[in-house]
Amino acid sequence: MPTNYKKMGLSEKTTLIISILSFLVAFIGFILSDTISDLRKTVEITSIKDSTNLHFLTGKKGYIDTLLLRNEGNETSKNIKLIVTFPHNIPQHEVLSDEDVVKKESNGQKLQISLDRLSNNSKLKLVMFSEKKLDYQVHYIDDNGKNEVTQHTSLNKRSYWDVLSIFVVVISMGIIVWIFRRSSQKI
């Protein structure tokens, strides 16, 4: 192949170098993407926060906030303790979960919810009512230590980038093969 490269014109060499660089960038991007990294076992607790102003619905003062936590990882989180910290008093609340809630503690400005586990794709829903808009911080402690809860990201956006990188890899490989085939026919 090195002899073919020497016989290529400047435009073919430039196209080949651009194709190889595109291939490498797309391939490395795909390898480092979430699709490939999901092959190793991880716990990923994500949250979706929603707030509804009751004044618009009922004419009464108040807010209903919903915090939906979900384990989107591919490993079970064991001995998990969810800690919700409020700047003021803990609002009225209800806890719903696919898993068994072992213990629920209210301590000053902290609400602690303990579960034996939160399996992958399991959910924990915290519904809260307050007369004022709610503001709170969420983190959890499990067998792996203290962790922050991440905001939910759309899977469609991730898969879009995976498809795009696969497309660039395939196109780049096709151009590389075409250039070498064309240069070998010139001999």
- Tokens standing for 95? 């806890």
Question: Is it the case that residue 28 has pLDDT exceeding 70?
Answer: yes
Distance CA 29, CA 33 (A): 6
Q: What is the pLDDT of residue 8?
A: 74
Q: What is the pLDDT of residue 37?
A: 53
The structural domains of the chain, with segments of one domain joined by +, span 2-38+155-185, 45-143
The mean predicted confidence, pLDDT, of the chain is 81
Distance CA 104, CA 99 (A): 13
Residue 119, SS3? coil
Distance CA 180, CA 133 (A): 65
Task: Average the pLDDT over each of 2-16, 43-57, 103-117, 134-148 and give the range with the smallest value.
Answer: 2-16
Please classify residue 50 by burial: count the beta carbons closer than 10 Å to its beta carbon, then call 0-12 exposed, 13-18 middle and 19+ buried. Answer: exposed
Q: What is the pLDDT of residue 159?
A: 67
Q: Which CATH class is domain 45-143?
A: mainly beta
Res. 128 pLDDT band, cuts 50 70 90: very high
Compute the average pLDDT of residues 63-75. 85
Greater confidence (38 vs 176) lies with 176
